[in-house]
Amino acid sequence: MISWQHSWKRLVLASILALIMPIIAACGSAPETSTAPAQSTAPAAAASPAQNTEASPAASVAAEPAASASGQGTTAAASASGAGTTVAASCPEGFPNKPITFVTWSNPGGGGDVLGRAMITAIENQNLLSQPVVIENRAGGSGAVGMAHVVQQPANGYTVLIVTKNLTLTPLTQNLDTDYQDFKPIQRTQLEPFFVAVRTDSPWNSLKDLVAAAKTENVTFGGAFAGSTDNMMFSLLADKAGFELTYVPFESGGEAATALVGGTVDAISASPQEVAALVDAGKLKFLATPSAQRVPDFPDLPTFKDEGFDITLEQWRGFVYHKDVPDEIVECMDTVLRQASQDPSFQKYMEESGLANGYLPGDEFYALLEKETNENRAFLEEAGLLNQ
């Protein structure tokens, strides 16, 4: 009797479980189908942009180990969100996986330094790279220090050099072991006019006035190092106008401008960025530019040709890699820089600085470097400044 009761109870319990288990299973499966899509899409799309845009250059340097550790996660998120999809498609898989350094031979506030920082801001604004980019100033030797540093770095794409015309001059005047052939151009990015500047209280109101005075007085001219583009510009002017040049070299455009204000020199070659504050303050004025055409921001400022001197010179800036960096990484960085150049913040910087778009792809930029180096060698040899 007892055995039968226990068997009956087990039978009833089994029957009840058979009825309710499907119901429990159905109820338990519903949360999984509703929450899974949210978990797979929402965090990646929402968190990725915030992580990339909040990072600043200063913060990137301070938190470099953390950025390197977390970078792979943000790379995937950035690609999923679509912010860096176009750039990612042109970059080798896994690049970059650590911070990238922009090296400039400008001091802080110099033309190359400002270009690098403006480009970094634009890259961050558009989430073009999954890793931070930091700026590193390697000033000295009219670019020689920066060149030497970059050629000693691994050719892995994580060290970029911001260059100017000095790349085609400094190796010729300082007998360096490094020249343009040790680098692989990414792109030429911008053009900048040279201006002849004098003190506002000077008696010269035109380039012709300055030249006339130089023929009869001891007028001193200043600019970058001996053999620089500044030196070349004034040498060509002296040759065509027929006066003896007294040239004083300075380490930077800022130093030359300070010397001009202080009366150490009478005229300098300067870029708008270097002397804009002094011009706005009424301490300096521009006389002319050797640009091919009048500068849009200074439509009343004559060119050298307008003044009767057939001389054309412009500054340029661009980005290069170590010559052994793989082509696919060079193409990746060119894409990044071209897209960043379209960012409103970068366009504003270009406009406010009086700069023009000077884009040339890597192969055309290399041809320009070769051409200018040969032209500069001929000039320096004739001027007795060639040191090779």
- The better pLDDT of the pair 254, 300 is held by 300
CA atoms of 385 and 206, how far apart (whole Å): 29
Q: How many CB atoms lie within 10 A of CB 295?
A: 18
- Last residue of a domain, which of 293, 312, 331? 312
In this prediction, residue 88 carries a pLDDT of 63
pLDDT digits (tens, 9 = 90+) for 221-261: 999 888 889 999 999 999 999 999 999 999 878 889 999 99
Q: What span, in angstroms and rounded, lies between the C-alpha atoms of 282 and 247?
A: 25
Q: How many domains does the chain have?
A: 2
Last residue of a domain, one of 284, 312, 340: 312
* CA separation for the pair 352, 192 (Å, rounded): 12
In a domain, 354, yes or no: yes
Strands (E), 20-132: 100-104
Let me know whether 69 and 116 are in one domain: yes
Contact 274, 253 (CB under 8 A): yes
User: Domain span at residue 251?
Assistant: 195-312
Residues 187 and 319 in one domain: yes
**Which residue, chain included where needed, has tokens 């929450």?**
35
Are 377 and 284 in the same domain? Answer: no
Residue with tokens 């060079």: 330
62 plus 183 within the same structural domain: yes
More confident residue, 251 or 161: 161
> Do 202 and 351 lie in a common domain?
no
**Residue of higher predicted confidence among 329 and 88:** 329
For residue 374, pLDDT over 90 is answered with: yes
Q: Which of 312, 347, 370 is the last residue of a domain?
A: 312
Both 89 and 111 in one domain: the answer is yes
Is residue 76 over pLDDT 90?
A: no
Torsion angles phi and psi, residue 314, rounded to 5: -140, 145
Question: Domain check: are 353 and 296 in the same one?
Answer: no
Rounded mean pLDDT of 283-297? 94
- Are 192 and 314 a contacting pair, CB within 8 Å? yes
Domain co-membership, 208 together with 182: no
7 lies in some domain? no
Q: What is the pLDDT of residues 202-216, one digit of tens each?
A: 999 999 999 999 999
**Would 125 be classed as within a structural domain?**
yes
CATH at residue 199: 3.40.190.10
Q: What is the pLDDT of residue 110?
A: 83
183 shares a domain with 72: yes
**Same domain flag for 171 and 276:** no
Do 200 and 185 have their domain in common? Answer: no
Cα torsion 249, 251, 257, 262 to 10°: value is -70
Residue 46 lies in a domain: no
Higher-pLDDT residue of 27 and 272 is 272
Q: Does residue 133 share a domain with residue 87? A: yes
Q: Is residue 41 part of a domain?
A: no
Collapsing DSSP to helix, strand or coil, 15 comes out as: helix
User: Whose CA is closest to 98, among 59, 70, 127?
Assistant: 70
Is pLDDT of 8 > 80?
A: no
Strands 183-193 and 133-137: unpaired
> From edge to edge, which strands make up the β-sheet containing 195-199?
246-249, 220-223, 267-270, 195-199, 284-288
Q: Enumerate the β-bridge partners of residue 361.
A: 187
Q: What is the pTM of this model?
A: 0.72
